[in-house]
């Protein structure tokens, strides 16, 4: 993989989406591509499982929500995970080498969280929730099982993983820029074919905020928030690294167009975490540059898109008002409309929850039509509704133990470990940011969030084990 470059990662990111868009309304062609990908991945798993692991990691970074290609009703990601998991387990059983060494606190907490997850799965079926919804929720939590092959294959430093991450950042920035240009220049009009593909397949949102300014949202943008904090952590050690500044500005541009209030709050909390035991001069400089870059990019982009008619400050004011008075905005109004049924659901089974696949109903504030959905728009309340108080506490304690272990490595004796302090501190800030984002978005039990904590846990275990040698 030494010949693999950032350009290759960017090319894969682009081709996946282009082929998906072309074959969106051609089911046979889409399944044919999926079949080729699945067959090729299966062959690679049989020949060289370590290489298949890198492909799997790249799939999570570069394949977005994973809905671009389907085979027999299953996502290509599901096929990849199933094939990799079966072959990896078969090899472990054949070699009789499966004996992961987990710290006692991690082992106990992961068993407790796993127990309550099992109860939530059973509850979901007993309460006759849709089987597909129960399975979808369960699979996201079960991404934690990737910890075990990660302990075998994921070694730091991994230059290929670094290139994949950089390709993802560039792909996210360029795609957001292109989409914004298409609609702000009136080449595309909402809702057109691309919008429907973007909404139904890429699982994103394109929202017209007025004055030709469009909000571009994708679920994988959660990773961009984490990337900003990790890159910023490195820049606080070496503020003169121009390449890192480039990737930081690319990431900031994505978050600027995403325009999610909770992401901005999460970044603020993450930067506060980064201030601990940090060169305050470097911390202030990098933090200020990030805030200033997002603000300047927003003002200039809005000014250009509006043909010089507006700087967007009035729009920024509306979004900030929504933090304290969310009922004044549609998304906030929907979030508030969800609360009565959410509280009713939690009170029905407060301790053990109603199980995975729980839905919530509300009257849409505009259409006045009763709607039912699986997304609660309140992360912690959704956890309470599905897992109950006991299950939620068990899961959160498990995640907090991971972050506490990471904090020990990052600050207590950074120089004693192989991984650099900036990475560990950036990961810690990212973990704290996820706890903030989970207030309104299922960040802690969404696929990307779960994978993030699985990666952090893998790194913590490996560094702790190396230190004990």
Q: How many CA atoms lie within 13 A of 286 on its CB side?
A: 32
CA 273-219-261 angle, to 5 degrees, is 50
Of the ranges 136-145, 177-186, 201-210, 411-420, which one carries the lowest mean pLDDT score? Answer: 411-420
Per residue in 115-141, pLDDT (tens digit) is: 999 999 999 999 999 999 999 999 999
Let me know whether 349 and 369 are in one domain: yes
Let me know whether 308 and 332 are in one domain: no
- On whether the CB atoms of residues 335 and 329 are closer than 8 A, the answer is no
Let me know whether 251 and 367 are in one domain: no
Per residue in 14-56, pLDDT (tens digit) is: 999 999 999 999 999 999 999 999 999 999 999 999 999 999 9
Domain end point (choices 323, 342, 369): 323
Let me know whether 372 and 307 are in one domain: no
* CA–CA distances in Å: residue 27 to residues 22, 70, 199, 228, 355: 11, 9, 18, 37, 34
pLDDT at 1: 58
Residue with tokens 């900031």: 252
Who has greater pLDDT, 92 or 338? 338
Q: How far is CA 113 from the centre of its chain?
A: 21
Residue with tokens 């996820």: 434
Residue by residue, DSSP assigns 161-199 as HHHHHHHHHHHHHHHHHHHHHHHHTTSS-SS-HHHHHHH
pLDDT at 159: 86
Per residue in 46-96, pLDDT (tens digit) is: 999 999 999 999 999 999 888 899 998 889 999 999 999 999 999 888 877
| The pLDDT of residue 324 is above 70 | no
Per residue in 345-392, pLDDT (tens digit) is: 999 999 999 999 999 999 988 888 999 998 898 999 999 999 999 999
As a whole number, the mean pLDDT across the chain is 91
Question: Within 10 Å of residue 140's Cβ, how many Cβ atoms?
Answer: 17
Let me know whether 315 and 342 are in one domain: no
Residue 40 lies in a domain: no
pLDDT at 100: 73
Q: How many domains does the chain have?
A: 2
Residue 403 lies in a domain: yes
Residue 285 lies in a domain: yes
* CA–CA distances in Å: residue 109 to residues 177, 191, 394, 450: 43, 46, 7, 15
Per residue in 204-220, pLDDT (tens digit) is: 999 998 899 999 999 99
| The pLDDT of residue 322 is above 60 | no
Residue 3's pLDDT band, with cuts at 50, 70 and 90, is: confident
Let me know whether 330 and 318 are in one domain: no
Residue 56 lies in a domain: no
Q: Which of 85, 81, 71 is nearest to 140 (CA)?
A: 81
pLDDT at 414: 47
Let me know whether 297 and 374 are in one domain: no
| The pLDDT of residue 325 is above 70 | no
Q: Which three-class secondary structure state does DSSP give residue 219?
A: helix
Distance CA 83, CA 45 (A): 8
Averaged pLDDT, 158-163: 88
Residue 312's pLDDT band, with cuts at 50, 70 and 90, is: confident
Distance CA 15, CA 221 (A): 19
pLDDT at 247: 98
Backbone angles phi, psi at 163, to 5 degrees: -65, -40
Distance CA 277, CA 237 (A): 12
| The pLDDT of residue 469 is above 70 | no
Let me know whether 359 and 291 are in one domain: no
> By residue range, what is the domain housing residue 235?
209-323
Q: How far is CA 31 from the centre of its chain?
A: 26
Residue 468's pLDDT band, with cuts at 50, 70 and 90, is: low
Residue 320's pLDDT band, with cuts at 50, 70 and 90, is: low
């Amino acid at each position: 993989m030494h010949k693999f470059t950032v350009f290759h990662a960017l090319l894969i990111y682009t081709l996946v989406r282009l082929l998906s868009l072309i074959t969106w309304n051609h089911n046979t062609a889409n399944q044919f591509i999926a079949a080729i990908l699945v067959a090729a991945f299966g062959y690679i798993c049989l020949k060289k499982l370590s290489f298949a692991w890198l492909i799997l990691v790249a799939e999570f970074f570069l394949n977005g929500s994973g809905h671009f290609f389907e085979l027999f009703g299953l996502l290509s990601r599901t096929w990849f995970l199933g094939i990799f998991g079966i072959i990896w387990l078969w090899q472990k059983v054949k070699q009789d080498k499966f004996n992961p060494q987990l710290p006692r606190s991690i082992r106990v907490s992961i068993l407790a969280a796993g127990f309550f997850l099992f109860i939530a799965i059973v509850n979901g079926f007993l309460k006759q929730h849709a089987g597909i919804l129960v399975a979808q929720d369960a699979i996201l939590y079960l991404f934690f099982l990737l910890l075990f092959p990660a302990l075998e294959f994921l070694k730091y430093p991994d230059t290929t993983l670094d290139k994949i991450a950089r390709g993802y950042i560039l792909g996210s920035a360029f795609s957001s820029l292109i989409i914004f240009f298409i609609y702000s220049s009136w080449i595309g009009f909402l809702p057109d074919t691309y919008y429907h593909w973007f909404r139904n397949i890429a699982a994103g949102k394109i929202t017209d905020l007025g004055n030709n300014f469009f909000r571009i949202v994708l679920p994988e943008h959660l990773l961009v928030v984490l990337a900003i904090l990790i890159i910023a952590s490195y820049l606080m050690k070496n503020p003169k690294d121009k390449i890192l500044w480039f990737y930081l500005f690319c990431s900031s541009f994505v978050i600027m167009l995403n325009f999610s209030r909770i992401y901005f709050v999460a970044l603020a909390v993450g930067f506060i975490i980064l201030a601990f035991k940090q060169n305050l001069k470097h911390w202030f400089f990098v933090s200020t540059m990030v805030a200033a870059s997002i603000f300047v990019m927003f003002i200039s982009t809005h000014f250009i898109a509006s043909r010089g008619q507006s700087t967007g400050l009035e729009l920024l004011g509306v979004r900030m008002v929504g933090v304290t008075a969310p009922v004044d905005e549609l998304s906030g109004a929907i979030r508030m409309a969800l609360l009565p049924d959410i509280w009713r659901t939690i009170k029905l089974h407060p301790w053990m929850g109603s199980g995975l696949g729980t839905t919530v109903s509300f009257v849409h504030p505009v259409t006045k039509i009763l709607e039912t959905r699986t997304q609660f728009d309140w992360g912690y309340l959704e956890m309470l509704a599905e897992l109950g108080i006991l299950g939620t506490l068990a899961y959160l304690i498990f995640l907090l133990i991971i972050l506490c272990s990471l904090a020990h490595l990052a600050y207590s004796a950074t120089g004693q470990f192989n991984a650099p302090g900036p990475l560990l501190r950036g990961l810690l800030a990212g973990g704290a940011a996820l706890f903030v984002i989970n207030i309104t978005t299922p960040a802690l039990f969404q696929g990307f969030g779960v994978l993030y904590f699985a990666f952090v846990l893998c790194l913590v275990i490996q560094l702790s084990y190396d230190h004990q040698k």
